Amino acid sequence: MNTKILMLAAGACAVATVPAQAAEREGSVQVKAFVTGVLPDGKIKTVEVDTIGLPANTQTRANDNVVPTIAIEYFVSDNFSIETICCLTQHDVDGTTGLPGAELVADAKLIPATVTAKYHFDAGPVKPYVGAGPAYFMFIDDEPGAATIPLGVTDFSLSDEFGFALQAGFDAELNDSGLGISVDAKRYFVDTTARWFAGNTIAIQTEHQLDPWVVSAGLSYRF
């Protein structure tokens, strides 16, 4: 996992020890501004079409990224809330075995639309929570990697897919005016189909396991 993300989370945990006055949360809205590490897998699960002749042990991995994110949360009750997030993340996919170091996907831009239902535990000034909910991964732009162009690839696409997310974290109020800090971790379970085209013909089609960890820390404001 990215060392900077771990350091950021550890610092946030230390700040979370600051005491704050408890307040009722039912009916309130909380907005969070995060620094987020997106840590995907990207490995090939199956090769469905291969007219080029990939090495038998070809495997891939998507690179990590750090992006700003915004979360908006509504408290249905003091202990139950609904949350959605907004972010845009960009990733390359490179070969690890079979085609080591080869750039196969370039600048794939993803919106991981997510809604989670969360349960918050009463634990003093620090409020841990768990959550779960559906996700829809939308790729709004993607390009074939540089290593595929000499093979005759002219176009590329990643399929939009539904998935599922599990979530855990904590909120800690810093004062009685709604300001606080939040640390959050999500694990997504979602695949995508990658298609490389030569003209109008699919030259390679593979199923990839994305399953990213999404780790965030930042400030929150509840009103």
Tell me the CA distances in angstroms from 177 to 121, 174, 200, 205, 221, one per residue in order: 21, 8, 59, 53, 8
The whole model's pTM is what?
A: 0.85
Q: What is the pLDDT of residue 95?
A: 95
Tokens found for residue 175: 């004062």
Q: What is the DSSP letter of 76?
A: S
Can you name the residues that pair with 47 across neighbouring β-strands?
Answer: 206
Query: For residue 126, how far is the Cα from the chain centroid?
Result: 24
Alpha carbons 154 and 149: distance in angstroms, whole number: 7
186 or 122, greater pLDDT: 186
Burial group, residue 102, by CB count within 10 angstroms (0-12, 13-18, 19+): middle
Alpha carbons 86 and 71: distance in angstroms, whole number: 6
| 208 in Cβ contact with 192 (< 8 Å) | yes
Q: Is the pLDDT of residue 171 over 90?
A: yes
Alpha carbons 72 and 111: distance in angstroms, whole number: 16
Q: What is the pLDDT of residue 183?
A: 98
Q: Which domains does the chain have, with CATH numbers?
A: 3-222 (2.40.160.20)
Tokens found for residue 102: 């080869």
The tens digit of pLDDT for each residue in 65-95 reads 999 999 999 999 999 999 999 899 999 999 9
Q: What is the pLDDT of residue 86?
A: 87
Tokens found for residue 65: 């990224």
Q: How confident is the model at residue 56 (pLDDT cuts 50, 70, 90)?
A: confident
Q: How confident is the model at residue 165 (pLDDT cuts 50, 70, 90)?
A: very high
Q: What is the pLDDT of residue 176?
A: 86
